[in-house]
Chain A
Amino acid sequence: MADLHARPARRSRSPRRARSAGAAAALVLALSACGGGDSEAGGGATTDGDVTTLTWQMWANSQIETDALNRLSEMVTEQHPDIRLQLQTSSFADYWTRLTAQASGGDVACLLGVQGPRVPLIADLLRPLPEDELQGAGIDMADFNEEMAASLQVDGTQVAVPFDLGPLVVFYNADAFEAAGVPLPEPGWTVEDFTAAAEALQASGIDAYGFFPTYDAFTAWSLTLTGQQAIGDDGELNLDTPEMAGVFETLQAMREQGLSPALPATNDGLESLNQYMAGNTAMVVDGPWQYGNIVQNAAFTPGVAPMPAGPDGSASHLAGSGYGVSANCSAPEEAVRALSVITGPEALQYLGEIGRAYPARTEQAASWYQGELADAQPALEYAIENSTYLRTNPQMNQLGQLFQQYGIPAFNGQQDAGAFLQQIQSQVGGS
């Protein structure tokens, strides 16, 4: 009897134990599979027969953007049948965190999207691209906007090849200007013209100019008012100068005069653009990459003007993006060939025509001015001509974040301009 009882008990225990062990083994396998997947992507390239597949990491905020990138990927395979690109996208905001987090685990794609101001942040990840190597792949940097090409260099060597660019410009609400009886701004208008227009607009019942204290917008004003950027050519931050304080005081004065609305505390860098697009403000400073969106969604007639000219004429800065090859890419020769296609004339012409990006190649730039965007041509060309690239340094992330965070109360008048800039300087610049 004892045996009879024991047998079923053993029988029932064994499968249970087996199941438990199986479950544990499955978990371990699943976890190791996760690890395996990660390590496989190391080097960013795999070869199958004659075909090399390169991973391509890029930001895309919509399916339309992803579709455009996929089209570029097809162009690469059409021109180089031995290369395929495997696209990995994330939103622009997440892209940098994801890229640096993956890099910290030694897992970086072969081709990387690179934004000019963030070059110092990821410079270590990028493979230097000497001129002869680029020319060997058919890339002549003289074909690109000079300032934009310079913004993707480290110590004079390209680390990425640009595909788009954009200077900061003034977007205006043409309907509001007409209602206020103010002439539409044109290239050559001055800061005095800007102020006079703002006062007339305000008198007609609309907030004249929506300023949001991003470092970008501040630098557009500092360039046109003083000809200087807070970050110099050497990468040193010099925010705590009387000139910079004077620029911020000019902006504060607009708020005090009621020409600019007070700001709520927010980390939404598009706050002012959204207010402009909703028709609540008549002018805003932003880049041409927003213009397609503005034309499509604003319920008024929008227009573009360069930054109003200060004492030394109109000036602004331009920023843009490009593609680089990661330093640990195991197929750099193929990657540079792919690079020559995705930044090539055909690709940039395509991106320009569909309004996705203002081409960084000078010959293809005109392709952007299609349909309703055509009106922007005189102002944009004038702005590009009078722009330098946005100087940057490895602390750009901190600078951008803290400038916006503390800039809001300072702009609202809760802190003196000099004290605000000194605070940012001491936290970011270390002086």
Chain B
Amino acid sequence: MAVTLPPVRRDVRGATATAAVGRRRSLTAWGFLAPSAAGFAVFTLIPIVGSIGLAFFVWPLLGERTFTGLDNFRTLFTTDPAFWRAMLNTTIFVVLYVPLNFVVSLGLALWMGPRIRGRGLYRVLFFLPAVTPMVANALVWRLLLQPGGLYDTVAQSWFGLDAQNPLGGPFSAMVCVVLMSVWQGFGYNMLVFAAGLEAIDRNLYEAAAIDGAGTLRRFWSITVPMLSPSMFFAAVMTLITSFQVFAQPYILTGGGPGNATQTTVMLMYQSGFQFFQLGTASAIATVLLLLIVLVTGLQFLGQRRWVHYDH
């Protein structure tokens, strides 16, 4: 009897003990999370919030800083001659780059499918541009494409064409930036697709073939749905990085000729680090952030229609 406790008191003790254990667990969890959370807060969250805050100021690096409300945004949308052009250039880049990247990376992943011999070597070779420094790649492309470079020389001496200066024309310069970016960037998506293709059960293809499905039918009805999670991942990542494109046009064309290849991030860099107008640069960054959040949100909403997670 001495060791038997009344049920109510036992429940209270039990509840208190459970709560204490819960608190301890919670503290422990926070302890483990602290380094990562602190890193996230210090290096990501606070800079983002700070950057958004800067967008509401005239904030030169030197001199007086003044709160201007929405003026930076108003100037960008109504009077800044470079902003809409940069947005248009970025859109053109995204519209050309993303589908082309998908066609090349998916095409090569399919070509290197599970049956081809030495596919590991091919994967390494095709992935090489993605791991070599972008600046070095862009410089090599510039040497090839500038007047007197390989492209110009071949066009003149082999085909008898006039002097070629693809980096000097507004449209051709954008095409060069897109092509160089695809060459540089397709390897990453190719690996994602190759891994997705390897995971598809071969029996599905055999069963479909026995049922009389042709190559195209098998591609549309088995490969595409089974690969859709990989495609969704690749689409989200590629869209985000292509909206943020900077290094390729910066090195290859410097945003030119004129502002024909000046992208939104380039304009942001120019405003912030060349013209030292941090408020304007932050306003551009905020607009770009909202645009990327919007497009990515739409992709996540749209995925229900075409991404199949059930095997």
Interface positions of A (Cβ within 8 A of B): 13, 16-17, 19-21, 23-24, 27-28, 31, 97, 100-101, 103-104, 121-122, 124-125, 261-268, 280, 397-398, 401, 404-406, 408-409, 412, 414-415, 427
Q: B167 and A24: CB pair below 8 A?
A: no
Is B32 located at the chain interface by the 8 A CB criterion?
yes
> Does B275 touch A at the CB level, under 8 Å?
yes
Q: Which residues in chain B, 13-55, are within 8 Å of chain A measured between CB atoms? A: 24, 27-28, 30-32, 34-35, 38-39, 42
Determine whether the beta carbon of A20 is less than 8 Å from that of B254: no
Contacts of B39 in A (CB 8 A): 27
- How far, in whole Å, are A24 and B41 apart by their CA atoms in the complex? 13
**B254 in contact with A405 (CB, 8 Å):** yes
B61 touches A100 (CB 8 A): yes
Given A401-B274, A406-B256, 8 extra CB contacts under 8 A: A20-B34, A100-B62, A263-B147, A264-B165, A401-B275, A405-B262, A408-B256, A409-B257
What residue of chain B has the Cβ atom nearest to residue A94's Cβ? Answer: B273
Q: What's the A-B contact tally at a CB cutoff of 8 Å?
A: 120
Asked if B35 and A27 make an inter-chain contact with CB atoms under 8 angstroms apart, the answer reads: yes
Residue of B whose beta carbon sits closest to that of A405:
B256
Partner pick for A24 among B34, B62, B257, B262, CB 8 A cutoff = B34
What residues of chain B have their CB less than 8 Å away from a CB belonging to chain A?
24, 27-28, 30-32, 34-35, 38-39, 42, 61-63, 81, 142, 145-148, 163, 165, 167-168, 170, 173, 250, 252-262, 270, 273-276
B61: contacting residue among A104, A266, A401, A414, CB under 8 A: A104
Task: Give Cα distance in the complex from A406 to B262, angstroms.
Answer: 11
Whether the Cβ atoms of B255 and A267 lie closer than 8 Å is: yes
User: What are 9 of the A-B contact pairs (CB < 8 Å)?
Assistant: A16-B31, A20-B32, A24-B35, A263-B147, A264-B147, A266-B254, A267-B255, A405-B256, A408-B258
In the assembled complex, which residues on chain B have CB atoms less than 8 Å from the CB atom of A267? 250, 253-256
Q: Give the dominant DSSP class at A's interface.
A: helix
The answer to whether A412 and B61 have CB atoms under 8 Å apart is no
Q: How far is the CA of A104 from the CA of B260 in the complex (A)?
A: 33
Given contacts A104-B61, A124-B62, A398-B275, contact A265 B24 (CB under 8 A): no
Cβ contact within 8 Å between B35 and A103 = no
In the assembled complex, how far is the CB of residue A157 from the closest CB belonging to chain B, in whole angstroms? 19
Inter-chain contact B142/A266, CB cutoff 8 Å: yes
> Shortest distance in angstroms between B210's beta carbon and chain A's nearest beta carbon?
57
The answer to whether A405 and B38 touch (CB under 8 A), given A21-B31, A264-B145, is no
Q: How far is the CA of A20 from the CA of B26 in the complex (A)?
A: 12
A265 with B28, Cβ < 8 A, contacts A103-B61, A397-B275 known: no
- Residue among B24, B61, B167 with the most chain A CB within 10 A? B61
Cα-based distance from A398 to B163 in the complex (angstroms): 32
Indicate whether A104 sits within 8 Å of B62 (C-beta atoms), given known contacts A31-B42, A266-B253, A405-B258: yes
Question: Can you name the residue of chain B whose Cβ is closest to the Cβ of A207?
Answer: B148
What separation, in Å, do the CA atoms of A204 and B128 have in the docked complex?
Answer: 43
User: Known contacts A97-B273, A103-B61, A280-B148: does B31 contact A265 (CB below 8 Å)?
Assistant: no
Asked if A122 and B62 make an inter-chain contact with CB atoms under 8 angstroms apart, the answer reads yes
**B254 partner residues in chain A, CB cutoff 8 A:** 265-268, 404-405
Q: Check A265–B253 contact: CB distance below 8 A.
A: yes
Minimum CB–CB distance from A87 to chain B (whole Å) comes to 23
How many Å from the CB of B54 to the closest CB on chain A? 11
Residues on B with beta carbons closer than 8 Å to the beta carbon of A20: 28, 30-32, 34
Chain A residues, CB < 8 A from B27:
17
